[in-house]
A and B are shown apart, each in its own frame.
Chain A
Amino acid sequence: MPEIFLDDYARLLVVLHAAAAIVLIGACTHHAVIAFGYLRGRPRLRLGRVYAATGLVAYAVTFVLGLLAYPTFRYHVRGLYLDRHAPWASNLFDIKENFAALGLPLVITTFVLSRVMSPKDDPTLARAYAATVFLTTAIVWFAVFAGLVITATKGV
């Protein structure tokens, strides 16, 4: 059997990846609710900052854990099983990973914005902030549910 980077720890990494994703989807959903309040003229600045920071940390942790487990997934799960028996799940995984990468700059943007903007003084910036939060949340929801479906089809 070939030696694959962190193969022995792949299951642990995926469990931790899922745990971080639970934190991430919670933080992003709460952040979206807070951002909706910004649009309605009821900014809750402190909570927005807390969820933006939590979202950034959870996104980074989830992303890095996914990167570490990826070589094992690529060969043992995708290469040997999904590509042969469930190609739609292979494709769904690649769509998910690409979407998740594209969310990286958005989650950094929302974190920095949450620190430097003042929604009362700058309503235009608050609307832009809300738009990036909503798109980030949509990406996270898609990635989490796609991950669940893929893992239910074949895990590491």
Chain B
Amino acid sequence: MTGARPAHGDRGRVVYLALCVATIGFALGFVYPAITPQAVLWYYPLEGRWAYEIEPTGLAMDFYGRTLLALAAAAVSFAGGYVVFRRWRRAVAHPTVLGLFTAWAITATLFAMLNFGWTLYFRTPVPAPLPDWYVPR
């Protein structure tokens, strides 16, 4: 790693490589709470409240919380990647590095997709109890 800043023409590559790191961060941040016990923000639509917890205590949605966590992971990854690649001029100029990070970003995304596809395909959802007022609409 050198301390030299990249030339202006390398700016696109620096941004791209940082975005690849951010994509990897997003995918890992998004899938992490689904594969290990990790507290996230849950929304309870019937009660209109939020809770930060590992397991919900009723009908709740973790999608908002996982997306926020993934966005935070992506933002931190992008900042870290940008700082590193701005200084790492040799790597930025190398086509192999570009190809590798593209492949890693796509692989991380596909890995996360495969995880959700596999686990959700075989899931047996638990229906909410039918309330007294319920009339199918």
Contacts and interface: CB of A to CB of B under 8 A. Distances in A.
A132 B106 contact: yes
Contact of B130 (A80, A90, A105, A113): A80
A97 B136 CA distance: 24
A102 B59 contact: no
Contacts of A72: 45
A150 B112 CA distance: 22
Given A109-B20, A122-B12, A3 B48 contact: yes
Contact of B64 (A67, A81, A121): A67
A72 B12 CA distance: 42
Interface string A97-116: 11101101110110011001
Nearest to B97: A124
A74 B124 CA distance: 16
A131 B102 contact: yes
B40 interface: no
Interface residues of A, number: 49
B134 A80 contact: yes
B116 A116 contact: no
A131 B16 CA distance: 13
Interface in B88-137: 95, 98-99, 102, 105-106, 109-110, 112-113, 116-117, 120-121, 123-128, 130-131, 133-134, 136-137
B103 to A, nearest CB: 8
A80 B51 CA distance: 23
A90 B13 contact: no
Contacts of B136: 81
A100 B71 CA distance: 14
A102 B133 contact: no
Interface residues of B, number: 52
B27 to A, nearest CB: 6
Nearest to A90: B125
Contact of B99 (A116, A121, A124): A124
Interface of A: 1-5, 67, 70-72, 74-76, 78-84, 87, 90-91, 94-95, 97-99, 101-102, 104-106, 108-109, 112-113, 116-118, 121-122, 124-125, 127-128, 131-132, 135, 139
Q: Which 5 A-B pairs have the closest CB atoms?
A: A79-B128, A116-B12, A71-B45, A83-B127, A84-B127
Given A75-B46, A124-B99, A128-B98, 16 more contacts: A75-B128, A78-B125, A80-B130, A83-B125, A90-B123, A91-B121, A97-B63, A102-B113, A105-B19, A108-B19, A109-B23, A112-B16, A113-B12, A116-B15, A125-B12, A132-B106
